[in-house]
Structures are given as structure tokens and as C-alpha cells.
Chains A and B, each alone.
Chain A
Amino acid sequence: MLTLAWLVLFLPLAAAAAILAGTLRRNFLSSALACGAMTVSFLFSCAIFFQLAGRNFEAAESHVVLVSIRNFELEFGVLVDRLSAIMLLIVTGIGGGIFFYSTEYMKDDPGYSRYFAGLSLFAFSMLGIVLSTNFFQIFVFWELVGVSSYLLIGHWYQKNEAADAGKKAFITTRIGDVGFLIGILMVWSLAGGAGKETLNFGVLESLMGDGFSGGMYLTLACLAVFCGVLGKSAQFPLHVWLPDAMEGPTPVSALIHAATMVAAGVYLLARTFFLFVHSSQALFVIACTGCVTALMAALMALVQDDIKKVLAYSTLSQLGYMVMAVGLGSASAGMYHLVTHAFFKALLFLGAGSVIHAIHTQNIWEMGGLLRRLPVTGWTFLIGFLALAGIFPLSGFFSKDEILTLASMRHPVFYLAGTLTAFLTAFYMGRLFFTVFTAEPRREHHPHGEAAVIRIPLLLLAFFSAASGFFGLGHWLHTHHDAEIEWNFWVVSISLIVSLGGIAASYLVYNLRIPLPESLGVVFAPARKVLENKFYLDDFYDALVQKVQQNFAGLCDLFERWVVVEWMVNGTARVTAWSGDMLRRLQTGRIHFYALVFSAGITALVGWWVLAR
């Protein structure tokens, strides 16, 4: 089983290496390699899952020592347990679907082989995170995920926007990684205090048993580790890269939003939840962050005109939910939502990709009435939409309501914010769906049909989006660290009503185009402006980079030019030159003068020597 896990991990890397080394000019071979590796990985993941089930889901790991210096070791290995087994299925399954989908979507791209190498690298990095046995390894793959996203978002590197978006994604997530690495070092110290300097999750968990108390240091360590989540899972205030990342090809967006990258943060929280349970302050901060992100992103999604951006903000908002769930004390609820969300968000993105592929625009106001022309896309998109809105009996309903129930048990503020977000989610998704698929088109389109490799992943994902609520995943993922969640009829019905209300409202406004009173637009104008400017956060960061960072760098440069080089170095040179100039006058060029000084010196020396005795 563990051998299989090693293979699952390294197959995509091997595919990436093979593509780079040999098949850059042979498009078909490249995609065959990438898809083949992914398929085999998926099959192996299934095998792992069933073997693990046969062993009653008892965790198993194997590792090699990467670096060993006296009593200090860096390990690299694979860890297979409930959490990683389900994530393996998600990553290889959904990821594999996206790989196949890409063969059609990217058909005519000049960087086709490069694209598949990038995808394989991305899958490898994500699988590495999933299978990590320790903090060091997870950090390694954390960084690799960053670089793969950089390469894929910037796939169309000749577009300035794409190149910038890739850079932004990489650097923004790296800001979080600064904290993450510091957090790892702090955890290492904590473990040292508890008995053994280790980064291995299993050992750490047993060291930090029930009675463990790390005090303030632990809280700080948890928050530092959480910084990594802020970056990768795009939580406020480091969420700014995610909408920009839409510059990448649509399947990449699907991959980032569903199966990889953003899932990594939540997965990390679940994986290291045994640390966080010891610090209620840290959990509180995490819950607040998730709550703010969920609400804020849902608000911003209301005003987007780009089909992919709406979905991007909705991902942000859903990630907020997951992080909030973890913060409220149940990592399993967060993971549950992660899994269901992976299905329907991949579905939505691939659907959006299909639309874009068919009519070559991303602006929703240029679309309309596409349900008839792209029936498979339209109907599966509807399933994804309803699942995201949390309508019974689709999967989103179960996972989202688990989070809302949890919130209602903790603090009304979280609950209210969560419910409001649910309403907004239903509303903006309704706006998207009705505008694109059912409303009267504002422009006539002649989309070409949907290819089979596009249709099949959509149908499969639609099935899982609809059905995965019935698998009992939430209960299955539950560990003794997680808070118990009591089924609450009122919470469930309220959220259902709210969601249906949101859909109904959007139906009225965007499908039937009920004229709204003018005054409404005027009242909401300032709010709209704030939302369209993304709460001015991007502008703030731009100013920070342009003004503070560049000016500081300029200051350093000036210091270097004037103080270090001009004063200190050239100054020394000038003093030397000046003193040489002064001493030069002694050199008259007359032999007599030299001889005189010479003999006077000798005389003086001899005299001193004689007299001193």
C-alpha cells in the first residue's frame, strides 16, 4: 500500500520530467503521458483507499531520511490515513478529469506540451502535500505548489496581465510562507520542549497529548502556521491573488480552485488540527478570518462581470466557510465542505470553460440563452449552482449546513454572517446562471458543440456534486479532536429558505428582468463602487509596494551610491590620493636632495644608536 503511495506521488513528476526532457515537440505524446500518469495515480489511489479500508483505516507511513546531521533529521515520506486517502481520490480524480478536459480546451495552444508538464508538476506538488508525513515536507510541497501555480497562471506569459498575475500569486502566497516557516520553527522548538525535536505529525500528535499546554508560544506558533493558510487558501488579507489568477487557462483555474492549491490550506489545518485544539485564541482568530473572508468575497462576487471572476470570488467565500469551520472547532466539517466544494467548483469552472471555449468571451452580459445551445454544460452547471447554493438534496446542502449548525452553536455573529453569506451566494450564483443560460441573449452567438472529453468530466462531476452528500463523509472524517455537531432542524430550514430566497430574488431580477426602482441604484451606488474596487485592498497593496517598498529600496540604493561608495570607498581613495599629492612634493627629482636626506638619516640613526648606549 505504501509502495503504491510512493508511486502515486512520483508518477506525475516523472510525467513532467519526461515531457520536459523528450516530448516538448510532440503534443499528443505529452498529453498522453500526463493523462496516463494521472489515470494510473487515480487507480492506485483507489487501490490505496480500499486497502486502507481493509485495515480499518489505521494510519501507516514510511519515510526516508533526506538530511541527517547529528540529532537533526529532515524526513521525506508518505503518510496514508483517512484524511490523505480521501484527498488522494479528490486530487487524482478531479485532477484527472481536468487533465482530460484540457486536451480539448488547450487543443490549439502553442505551449501545449509545456502546459501539460506544468499540470503534472502541479499535481505532483499537491499530492506531496497530501501525503506529507511532517512539517518540513509539507513546506517543500507548499513551495512547489506556489511555483506550479506561477507557471500555470502565467502560461500565456506574453500577456502582461498573465505574467503579472502569476507573479502576484507566487509572491502573495510566499508572504504567507514567511510566517509558515517561522511557525514550523516554533513548532520545532515546542516539540523540543515536549521531549523530542521532531516535525513528524504522528510523533508531534503523541507528544502534544490531551494535557499539553504550550501557552502563548503555542498560540503564536499556530498563528504563524496559519499565515501559510492565509496565503495558499487565499484568506483575507492575502486573498488578492486569487481573482487575478483567472488570467490562467480555465482548466488551471478549475484545478487551483477545486483540487489543488486552495485546498492545501484547509488540508493543512485539518492535518495539524491537533496543534490548534490546544489554543482557543488561535482558533478564534482563524474563525474570524474565515468569517470575514466568506462575507467579503460574497459581496464582491455580486458586482463581477467576468464569468470566471464570479466563480473565483465564490471560491474565496466558500474557503472562508471552511476556514471558519476549522476555527469553530471542527476540522472535519471544513474538510467535508472542501470535498463537496471540490466537486461542484470543478464542475462550475469546467462548465464556464466550456462556455468560454464555445463563444470566446468571458463577459456574462454578452452571453445569454445558452442552455439550449450547450445543453450538457447548462444542465450540469445548474446542478453545480444548486449544490453551491446549498439546496437539498445536493451535496453542498449537507456540508454547508454542518458548518452553519456549528456556527449557531458557537456565537450568533458567526451564524448570522454565515447565513447572510449563504443568501448572497445563492443570489450571485443565480445572477450568473440566469444571465448566462436562460435570459434573452443580448448578442447572437453561434457556439460550436461540446466535445466528448468536455462532456464526460462534466457529467461525472455533476453526479458527484449531486450525490456526495449521501456518502456520510462528514461523519467518516470525524476525529476525537473535532467538536460534536448536533443536527438542528431550525438552522437547516432557515438556511434552505434563505438560499431559495436568494435564488428567487435573482430569478426575478436577472431572468424576468423586473425593473427595479431607480432610487435603489442611487442608494447602492457608493457600496457598488467600494465592491468594484475590491474594498480598495488592491490599491492599498499597490501603494504599499510602490510607495513604501520601492522608496525604501531607493533609499538603500541612494545610501549605497552616496554613503558607501562615494563617501567611504571613493572617500578613502581620495584621501589616499590627496596625501600622495602632498608627499609628492618631497620628491624633488634631485639626486643631491635625496643623498642629503639619506646621509642625514644615517647620521641621525647612528648618532641615536651611539648616544642611546
Chain B
Amino acid sequence: MISLLVLFPLIGAAAVLLTARDNPAVIRRVAAWSCGASLLLALLLVFSFDRFAGGVQFEMRRPWVESLGISFHAGLDGISAVMILLHGLVSFSGALVSYSIKERVKEYFVFYLLLVASIYGVFISLDVFFLYLFYEMAVIPMYPLIGIWGSKNKEYATMKLTLFITAGAVLALVGIIAVYQMAGLKSFDLIELQRHFAVQPLPQRFQKWAFPFLVFGFGVIASLWPTHSWSPIGYAAAPSAVSMIHAGVLKKLGPYLILRLALGFMPDGARIWLPVVAALAMVNILYAGYCAMVQKDLKFIIGFSSVSHMGYILLGLACLNEAGLTGAVLLMFSHGVMAASAFSLIGFVYDQTHTRRVDELGGGLARKVPFIAVCFIMTAMASLGLPGFSNFISEILIFFGSWKVFPLFAAIGIFGVLVTSIYLLRTVKQVFYGPQTVSWEGLKDAVTVRARAPYLILIGALLVAGFFPQLLVGRIRSGVEPLVTAVRWSEETRLSSSSTVWKVYGDGGR
């Protein structure tokens, strides 16, 4: 059943291919329905996931290349359950937002559905080979989607984005193959490998050099400083739905894979290297926050803001304790939904005004497009960590988690929230408040249910998760706990004094 998540969008893509080119209405509907089907299935899976049992559920396995130990092994644990929910929400809203695409509708939706399917693939795969395969597959449709349907500077942006992500992937591939060889199991199966490493961990010396390959390789897609520069310009150039998927979901693949592969395989390496990652994450938070402060293009502002928020996720990962990791995964969800909402709203305004520049929009739009303004303000509030939205809970968890380990970083992170509120409130004020200086005759608010649905779905999700955090936290926790146990075990048995290069970890607390 779980592979249906991938199949629905693929079937949708095939159906779109078979539909006549001159019938865009049908094409759009097919695309929306197939994403919607996956979303419903994702909801069903997430809520039937037994959070008390934990572990991997809904497993399925089909052998593929047995000589190399590759099989199509799919399943969900607490972390990936939350991630498919995120992807379901964002991809469905993205499909609805894509109704505004007018050129080459058919090709657009084929690529879009391929992208959606491969990201589902990443989240459900429990085989490292397929994990990597789907990951690379996701990059391929991204290239034409930005290159053809993008705006301003799209060629440069798409090239840069694709190259960066591929480079990161290659770096990570080195690490993956090294782990595969080192394990000597002749198996790419994630669960088998992890079970093996629990009994017989990889040598510390190996972990010390192999870990950075994985963490910095996947760090590129998590826009870890200084490999973040593809992200703001990439989002700025991409069409709305692609920005949504990219900032919302694809970027979260970075931390997700770090959690899955790097942390899952090499707890020793994690203890050695994650303080470095945490320090870089601080640069992410502050540097990108200040960069966002002087941007004029709305998408650049949100782009830098997403780079800044990835810093919190990475900080949470680096804590290596339950609170931090849970917070990081919850923030992956919350920030994903929030970023998708922000990009879709900007896209809404851009489609009609053809400018995203704060100074050209001229302010006072709240009177003109009240619904969009309210949604944007709520999104901004979510982003700056207002209680009631799940972003707040995740950030709080990250702060509590990191306070024990990196008190200074936690304090900087808290200051970063202030920076976020400064630039977001300023943006809200400049675009939506104040007197209107440009009349924007053609600008119409979203009135139909179809036009409002994406925003309502996304913001509603944030609110539900914010008011009832335990819904997601319970599931995430069941996925995070085995990782923390492995780390703690590694710490207790292998804390030979010379091995930690960065002796910043204080006393316990984990």
C-alpha cells in the first residue's frame, strides 16, 4: 500500500501525458487529483501509524538486484511519517497553485508529478540505493521546471541549483559507498545496516573521516553555510509551486538524510563533527537573517529567511538529544509548510502585478487583497515563532535541547528569532500596511474556494499542529529515540578522551 504514495503521482504523470495538449483544464484536474490522492493516503498512513509501537511500520520489500543486495524496501517510521504528511500537504497545495501556469501546461505537470513522486520515494525508501536514486531523480525534473517556467535569471539559477545539489549528492555518495564497503554486508538495506551497526559499530577512525562526506554532502541541500547561495536565487527564479516544493520539502531532504544516514550509521562521527555543524548553523541563522533584512525582492527575503531557519533545524540535529532532534524534525515540518505558504502567497501577488519588489508594490495592499494579506501575516507570524503555530513549539524544543549542550548557540538562536521578526514585520508593513501608493487596478483577491484552498490547508495544518503538538511530536519521538539511544550508547562506551576533537559537550543532560 505504501508504494501507492509514489504510484499515484506517477500514474497521474502518465495520464497527463496521454491527455490532449489542448485540454489544460483536464490536465490540471488530473494533476490535482493524483496529488490529492497521495495526500489522503499520507494522512491515512500518518494517523494509523501506531506511535506507541514506534519502529518501522507498513513495511514492504521486493528484491531487485540480489547480487548487490539491493531491494525495493519501503516503510515508515515516526520521522518519515511526518515528512510524507508535509510533502502531501505541500505538493497538493502546489498542484492547486499551479493552476496559474498558462504555458506548456502538459509538460509542466508531467515534470511536476515526477518531482512529487520521487520525493515521496525518498521518504518511503528504506534501501540506501533507492533512497539515493529517488533523491537524484528529484533533481532532474527540477532543472526544466525552473529553466523553462521560471522568471528572471532562470537559466543561471537553475544551473546553479542543479550543480550545487548534484555536487552535494556526489560527495554524499562517496560516503555511502564507503559505508557500504566497510559494513561488508553486501546489502543496501537501511534497517539491516543499522541493526548491524548496533551490534558492531563502524570503527571510530573510519567514522571520523566518512561522516563529513555525508553531513556536508547533504548539508548542501540543507543550505548549510557557505553552500547556501543556490537557494535564494533558485527560489526567486522558480515558479511558485516549485519554490514551494523546493523550500518546503526538497530542502528538508538534507537534514532528513543526515538524520537517516549520517546519524543512523555513524553516531561516533556525529559526536565528533556535529559541533562544527552547529557553529556553521549559527552563521546560517544570523548571517542569512541580516541578509534578508536588506533584500528588496519578496522571494529573496523569504529565500534568505529559509536559509536562516535551516540553521535552527541543523542546530536541533546537532544537539543529539530527544528534545533537539524532535524539535528539528518538527521544524522541518513546520517550516516546510510555512515556506510553502509564503511562496504561494508571493506567487499570487506576482502573477497579477508582475513585480515582487517591495518598493514597487508600494504598500497598502491589505485593503486591496484582504484575504491574501491576512494569510501572509499569519504566515509571517508562524515564521517568527508565534505560539499557536507549530513553528513555535519546534523552536522551543530546539532551544531546550541545545541549552544543555550549546548554551551560547541557544542564546544566539533566540536572538535570531528577534532578527526574523524584524525583517518579516518590516516586510509586512511595507507591502500590506500604510497608504496605498500604486493602485494595481487588475489585482483581485482570492475569492473562490479553489483559489483559497492552498493557503487554508497550509495555515490550517500549522495551527492544528501548533495547538495539538503531541499529534506529531509523539510520532517523531518514536522515530528519534533509537537514534538517541545509539548516540548515548556510543558516548558511554566509546568516549575515549582523545576521540572528540571538539570538547564542547559539557556534562550529561542527554
Give A residues with C-beta under 8 Å from B.
Answer: 65-70, 72, 74, 136, 139-141, 143-144, 147, 150, 154, 157-160, 163-164, 167, 170-171, 174-175, 177-178, 181-182, 185, 188-189, 192, 549-550, 552-557, 559-560, 564-565, 568-569
Contacts and interface: CB of A to CB of B under 8 A. Distances in A.
B226 A69 contact: no
Contacts of A188: 400, 403
Interface string B36-59: 000000000000000000000000
B402 to A, nearest CB: 9
Contacts of A178: 414-415, 417-418
B361 to A, nearest CB: 15
Given A158-B433, A171-B418, A556-B287, A185 B160 contact: no
A69 B322 contact: yes
A512 B182 CA distance: 96
B290 A553 contact: yes
Contacts of A556: 287, 290-291, 294
A182 B322 contact: no
Contact of A174 (B322, B399, B418): B418
Interface in B70-128: none
A553 B293 contact: yes
9 contacts: A67-B469, A74-B396, A143-B392, A144-B387, A160-B435, A167-B429, A174-B417, A549-B293, A564-B226
Given A65-B470, A556-B287, A171 B229 contact: no
Nearest to B436: A158
Contact of B381 (A147, A549, A565): A147
Nearest to A569: B229
A170 B421 contact: yes
Contacts of A550: 293-294
Contact of B422 (A154, A171, A565): A171
A136 B418 contact: no
The main secondary structure of chain A at its interface with chain B is helix
B403 A174 contact: no
B381 to A, nearest CB: 6
Interface string B427-443: 00100111110000000
A553 B294 contact: yes
Contact of B470 (A68, A150, A185, A554): A68
Interface in B369-409: 381, 385-388, 392-393, 396-397, 399-400, 403-404, 407
Nearest to A564: B229
A327 B413 CA distance: 30
Given A144-B386, A167-B429, A181 B414 contact: yes
A9 to B, nearest CB: 14
A210 B417 CA distance: 36
A557 B421 contact: no
Contact of A67 (B397, B435, B509): B397
Given A157-B432, A163-B433, A553-B294, A185 B403 contact: yes
Contact of A157 (B229, B366, B400, B414): B366
Nearest to B432: A157
A144 B291 CA distance: 27
B227 to A, nearest CB: 9
Nearest to B423: A553
A174 B421 contact: yes
Nearest to B403: A185
Contacts of B224: none
A143 B470 contact: no
B503 interface: no
A164 B429 contact: yes
Q: Which A-B residue pairs are the 9 nearest by beta carbons?
A: A163-B433, A553-B293, A140-B387, A556-B290, A553-B290, A157-B433, A185-B403, A69-B322, A553-B294
A286 B364 CA distance: 42
Nearest to A158: B435
Contacts of B229: 560, 564-565, 568-569
B461 interface: no
Contacts of B417: 174, 178
B470 A189 contact: no
B455 to A, nearest CB: 14
A150 B434 CA distance: 14
B435 A70 contact: no
Contacts of A182: 410-411, 414
Contacts of B326: 69
B444 interface: no
A170 B421 CA distance: 9
A560 B300 CA distance: 12
A158 B364 CA distance: 6
A147 B386 contact: yes
A181 B399 contact: yes
B418 A175 contact: yes
Nearest to A147: B386
Given A182-B414, A564-B226, A70 B433 contact: no
B177 to A, nearest CB: 24
A96 B471 CA distance: 35
Of A167, A171, A181, A559, chain B has the most CB atoms within 10 Å of the CB of: A181
A181 to B, nearest CB: 5
Contact of B469 (A66, A141, A569): A66
B195 interface: no
Nearest to A164: B429
Nearest to B160: A569
Given A67-B393, A143-B392, 6 more contacts: A66-B393, A67-B470, A157-B366, A192-B509, A556-B291, A568-B226
A422 B229 CA distance: 59
Given A550-B294, A560-B229, A70 B400 contact: no
Contacts of B415: 178
Nearest to B387: A140
Interface in B212-240: 226, 228-230
Contacts of B404: 189
Contacts of B469: 66-67
Contacts of A565: 229
Contacts of B291: 553, 556-557, 560
A136 B396 contact: yes
B396 A70 contact: no
Interface in B287-322: 287, 290-291, 293-295, 322
Contacts of A143: 385-387, 392
A172 to B, nearest CB: 10
A185 B433 contact: no
Contacts of A175: 418
B450 interface: no
B124 to A, nearest CB: 25
A192 B429 CA distance: 42
B186 interface: no
B473 A69 contact: yes
A174 B384 CA distance: 11
A290 to B, nearest CB: 24
Contact of B425 (A171, A553, A557): A171
B176 to A, nearest CB: 24
Of A67, A70, A150, A192, chain B has the most CB atoms within 10 Å of the CB of: A67
A170 B422 CA distance: 9
B477 interface: yes
B421 A171 contact: yes
B435 A69 contact: no
A559 B295 CA distance: 13
A206 B509 CA distance: 22
Nearest to B364: A158
A94 to B, nearest CB: 24
Contacts of B295: 557
A140 B388 CA distance: 8
Contacts of A181: 399, 414
Contacts of B381: 147
B226 A66 contact: no
A466 B290 CA distance: 52
A157 B425 contact: no
Interface string B487-500: 00000000000000
B322 A70 contact: yes
A414 B230 CA distance: 58
